[in-house]
Amino acid sequence: MQFDFSEQQQEFRQEARRFLAAECPPERVRKAIEGGGFDRALWQGVAEMGFLGIAIPEEHGGLGLGYLELCAVAEEFGRALAPLPILSSIYLAAEAIKSFGTAEQQVAWLPRLAAGATIGCLAAAEGERLSERHLRTAFANGRLDGTKAPVLDGDIADIAIVLAKEGDALSLVRVDLAADGVTRTPLDTLDPSRGQAEIVFAGAPAERLGERGEGWAMFQTLLDRAAVLTAFEQIGGADRALEMGRDYALERMAFGRQIGSFQAIKHMLADMYVSATLARSNAYYGAWALSTGASELPQAAATARVSATNAFRHCAKNNIQVHGGMGFTWQMDCHFFYRRANQLALALGGPPDWEEKLVSRLSAVNMPIAA
């Protein structure tokens, strides 16, 4: 058994870490949050490193590597809190086109997505918790009507993959966001390092992706894959929050001692370590299932997702606590992690949906075979 990344994959991760340390230091994240807008130069840099095209075939302009390499890099994007639309454009939009698009759609979009020249997003939610039955956005005769909100990175994306009703079934369609009949409004959210928008479609031209009526199933497949990749972003963030807390506990003195010598702080940091470690192991299991196309993927993805969401939130909130009053200042980075932890927890559908998926998938797997 070899339940770890290979040396080559580790090297890949190191490369991403070096790149992000140099090009995406905390000041650059701060600038994005404080109104610098989308950092296109950073996005181009990431594209030039080949990170966007890792899991996109070579014939479509990617590196043609596997998901494991993408997982390894995702962790580094999470650790650096990169203010970039990788989740939307690569884990979701590019995946959708790669998996369900026609040959022409792939030729048209994958090279552009891999090169960062086009940014994609996925528009599913309609204001409240998403359910298969309550979707209102409709696709008919090549036109799309409806309102999607919030759409992660919908403020900067060029194309959207939209979950819509087609007759009485659901389909996935691709829309050009610069087309007539599309209006977008940026939304204020907990995590300003990633833009969100409301997108209104009024007869916007759209084309179907994959089979009519297969939309919900395709959407679930996309969510499962993205859940594994996002879990790596979450454990990257959790690890960094833990490190920040540990470093501060070593440096800060109270009552003539390092605060890290108080059992309360030690236990808090130890518990952060425990949750981050369990989440990492679960994410590895998800990565294995994703990269091998194992039938366990749905269950492994939900496990990785729930575990990583809890760990990142747990580490981010306790990191503020370890920092005391300092942790509640805008000047410290602690709240960026707290913001991102909560934002990622709600991207791809909120925790209750994933908890539900996890338990129903577990119980389905273990269901006694009917006589």
Partner 1 sequence: MNFDDTPEEAAFRAEARAWIEANAPSHLLPILSGSGFGTSAEAGEIDMLAEAKAWQKKKCDAGWACLHWPQEYGGRGATPMQRVVWNQEEGVYAQLSFTFIIGQGMCGPTVMAWGSEEDKQRLLPPLAAGEDIWCQMFSEPAAGSDLAGLRTRAVKDGDEWIVNGSKIWTSGAHISQYGILLTRTDPSVAKHKGLTMFWVDMRSPGIEVRPILQAHGQSGFNEVFFTDLRIPDSQRLGEVGNGWNVSLTTLMNERLSIGSGMSTGFEPLLDYAIRAPGPSGGRLVDDPSIRSKLADWATKASGLKYTGMRALTALSKGEQPGPENSIGKLVAGTTMQDIAMFAIDQQGEAGVLTDPQRAAAAARFQQVLMRSPATRIEGGTDEILRNIIAERVLGLPGDVRVDKNVAFDKIPTRA
Ligand X SMILES: Cc1cc2nc3c(=O)[nH]c(=O)nc-3n(C[C@H](O)[C@H](O)[C@H](O)COP(=O)(O)OP(=O)(O)OC[C@H]3O[C@@H](n4cnc5c(N)ncnc54)[C@H](O)[C@@H]3O)c2cc1C
Which residue lies nearer to ligand X by CB, 185 or 328?
328
Q: Which does residue 277 bind out of partner 1, ligand X, none, counting CB within 5 to 8 angstroms by kind?
A: none
Closest approach, Cβ 163 to partner 1, in A, equals 12
CA 109, CA 261: separation in Å to the nearest integer? Answer: 55
Residues making contact with partner 1 (CB under 8 A): 124-125, 127-130, 149-150, 152, 187-191, 196, 250-251, 253-258, 262, 264-265, 268, 313, 317, 320-321, 324-325, 327-332, 334-335, 338, 342-343, 345-353, 356
Q: Which does residue 335 bind out of ligand X, partner 1, none, counting CB within 5 to 8 angstroms by kind?
A: partner 1
By three-state DSSP, how is residue 204 classified? Answer: strand
By three-state DSSP, how is residue 234 classified? Answer: helix
Q: Which does residue 368 bind out of ligand X, partner 1, none, counting CB within 5 to 8 angstroms by kind?
A: none
CA 290, CA 60: separation in Å to the nearest integer? Answer: 21
Q: Which does residue 141 bind out of ligand X, partner 1, none, counting CB within 5 to 8 angstroms by kind?
A: none
CA 70, CA 47: separation in Å to the nearest integer? Answer: 13
Q: Which does residue 188 bind out of partner 1, ligand X, none, counting CB within 5 to 8 angstroms by kind?
A: partner 1
Closest approach, Cβ 349 to partner 1, in A, equals 6
**Alpha-carbon dihedral of residues 194, 200, 201, 206, nearest 10 degrees?**
0
Q: Which two tokens stand for residue 181?
A: 């009949």
Residues making contact with ligand X (CB under 6 A): 252, 254-255, 259, 262, 264-265, 321-322, 324-326, 328
Closest approach, Cβ 51 to partner 1, in A, equals 25
Give one word for 166, left, alpha or beta, with left for phi > 0 and alpha for psi -120 to 50.
Answer: beta
Which residue lies nearer to partner 1 by CB, 237 or 349?
349
Which residue lies nearer to partner 1 by CB, 213 or 324?
324
Which residue lies nearer to partner 1 by CB, 98 or 240?
240
Q: Which helix (H) or strand (E) holds 151?
A: strand 143-152
Which residue lies nearer to ligand X by CB, 325 or 368?
325
Q: Which two tokens stand for residue 306?
A: 């729930």
CA 288, CA 61: separation in Å to the nearest integer? Answer: 25
Closest approach, Cβ 358 to partner 1, in A, equals 13
Closest approach, Cβ 241 to ligand X, in A, equals 14
Which residue lies nearer to partner 1 by CB, 14 or 360?
360
Closest approach, Cβ 60 to partner 1, in A, equals 29
HSE of 10, CA atoms in CB hemisphere, 13 A: 5
Which residue lies nearer to ligand X by CB, 284 or 338?
338
- Specify whether the CB–CB gap between 52 and 88 falls below 8 A: no
- Specify whether the CB–CB gap between 314 and 351 falls below 8 A: no
299-324 b/e (C-beta count within 10 Å ≥ 16 → b) = bbbbbbbbbbbbbbbbbbbbbbebbe
Q: Which does residue 136 bind out of ligand X, partner 1, none, counting CB within 5 to 8 angstroms by kind?
A: none
Cis peptide before 150 (omega within 30 of 0): yes
